[in-house]
Structure 1
């Protein structure tokens, strides 16, 4: 069964800063705890102790919102979510260093991930969707807010085969646009990232020009930066730069509208939700595993296929009763209508569809049962 002691040290600096920020948010929100209590539901009240989680940076804003709400109605509870990336989050969960994790790519058994987590938990781990969001292909061009691109064009840019903004391939998709004779600087994540895996999965499935496998590590060159914030900073600092990041965090940058069927679709929560609705579940998944095979080639009107579905990992039971109650209560709030609406407001995500939310709620309700 999972242990509550930390056997792998959290990355210094980031961990301390995040823990301080979330604790401060909880303290600042004490005056509103009575207002929040009515929204949280019975399992999200009466919690105490320290709940540790780690993982996807894409969930950071949503995790902050969920933390504020749940801490606001639980005086004795401190929630620590360390946004160290999906790969490290999964590793810390499997090592028993954290009680739950966020991941932008579903945990599979291709590299023994599920088997290792099963050993840690004592039974198959819970894997539920928590955060659905478009990945924006964001860029920095003076006086240009939007550019149309097909998957092939995007793939060639990130593979270094299209190097100028006025390349004929881009011009052909943007009739009448004033595109400069300016170098394109692709920016990618330097750290292993579920966002990278989702982005490269899209390129591999939707483009005939991308020859690399979907991976947490970006496979080709260009400018590299750590974490979502690092990518945004690089794009902002370099005129002509282009990169990929959670849509909620690219405010102030231009966004690519992606070709879907015969139309070009801008990133939106609604477009991301449509992709999830038409995507099948992973074959052979357990009853507590809601992993999905995202349909990157859909031609559904309004769908935006450059999307990430971010999951939460947890155990079905815990040796420590306090940890078990905290995990159950916190996750119950996240997949509730209130929790999903709060994430949509604060992080721009798409609320889970009713049927998806109901199944996730049933799985969370079974924790410790």
Structure 2
């Protein structure tokens, strides 16, 4: 394994070439944000050829940054990431089509069992890699700050609250004039880890207002659907009186406002990376062995803790990885979980993982075989 330091000149060149890279690597319709990449990063290169990944669209902006920086340092490896949603990524991993899958929800027991066919002598494990928050992004003229809570969000997305001046919304927003505009909600059409995390929050925190179990597949009544995080963001941006859920970076890149969440704390929590970090600080590892699936506290009432958070996992084989891609996979993941890798995605709305979690991931990566 060789260590390469990316110069500022090469990183700027990588930024200029980003559109070409995206079209060549098939990362789907989710556009990468315009950012300034780090002025330099030390990356240990290894392996060669094409490294394939697929899945979560919530992490697509993060992967675009990572692969551009990594490719500038390690030109012998071409990282290709296709979106399609967490469900599609997990299925491609199980079928042995990709070296890693991005998923905003950890593997279920039956999925772990199914990964054995792609991981001879082992199985898939969840490595937390990109942390973020789910924005309730809205398009409502004249309303610069909106507060919602879990019961109200549940009823909006289940078709029970249909107007912006509904008493339940008005009560959460004293002093704000809410228009008598109909609400148009947008949800994901594809199986999505973002949906799984939002519905996990609603199921845990809505006191029964959300009647469905957490799931990657949307179960609410009413509303319209769109494909991927970018699709939902595009619809909310276009339709007045609309609301949708998406990873924060997509709300930011589309100039959308995000609702604050009333949790029972003295003040509602704004949708900021710092407030999401407060929630992540209370997370614990629920997985065993090399699996580092996290348990998130969706019902937190800590002051300043934004509760609707998600972690995107890179799903890889603990054993049985293909020899042709193993070295490149380990090198790429080592960069993404490094301090420079986490700081790079922090510039576009993601939340750097707590060091306690990052250290655990850094310890597992060398053991992959």
Fold in common (TM above 0.5): yes
- In structure 2, the residue matched to 1:205 is 204
- In structure 1, the residue matched to 2:47 is 47
- In structure 2, the residue matched to 1:94 is 94
Q: 1:118 aligns with which of 82, 96, 116?
A: 116
- CA RMSD across the alignment: 2.1
Describe how 1:276-291 pairs up with structure 2 within 5 A.
276-282=280-286, 285-291=287-293
Change (3 A) 1:159 1:349: same
- CA drift at 1:176: 1.1
- CA drift at 1:17: 3.9
Describe how 1:70-109 pairs up with structure 2 within 5 A.
70-109=70-109
- CA drift at 1:73: 1.0
Q: For structure 1, which runs of at least 5 residues remain unmatched after alignment?
A: 1-14, 26-31
- CA drift at 1:77: 1.4
- In structure 2, the residue matched to 1:10 is none
Q: TM-score, normalised by structure 2?
A: 0.87
Q: 2:191·2:216 contact (CA, 8 Å) conserved in 1?
A: yes
- In structure 1, the residue matched to 2:139 is 140
- CA drift at 1:156: 1.0
Alignment: residue pair count: 336
Q: For structure 2, which runs of at least 5 residues remain unmatched after alignment?
A: 1-20, 32-36
- In structure 1, the residue matched to 2:330 is 328
- In structure 1, the residue matched to 2:356 is 355
- CA drift at 1:206: 0.5
- CA drift at 1:20: 5.4
The SS at the match of 1:263 is coil
Describe how 1:305-344 pairs up with structure 2 within 5 A.
305-318=307-320, 320-344=322-346
Q: 2:27·2:81 contact (CA, 8 Å) conserved in 1?
A: no
Q: TM-score, normalised by structure 1?
A: 0.87
Q: 1:54·1:83 contact (CA, 8 Å) conserved in 2?
A: yes
- In structure 2, the residue matched to 1:56 is 56
Q: 2:270 aligns with which of 243, 266, 269?
A: 266
The SS at the match of 1:70 is helix
- In structure 2, the residue matched to 1:29 is none
- CA drift at 1:47: 3.4
Q: 2:103·2:193 contact (CA, 8 Å) conserved in 1?
A: yes
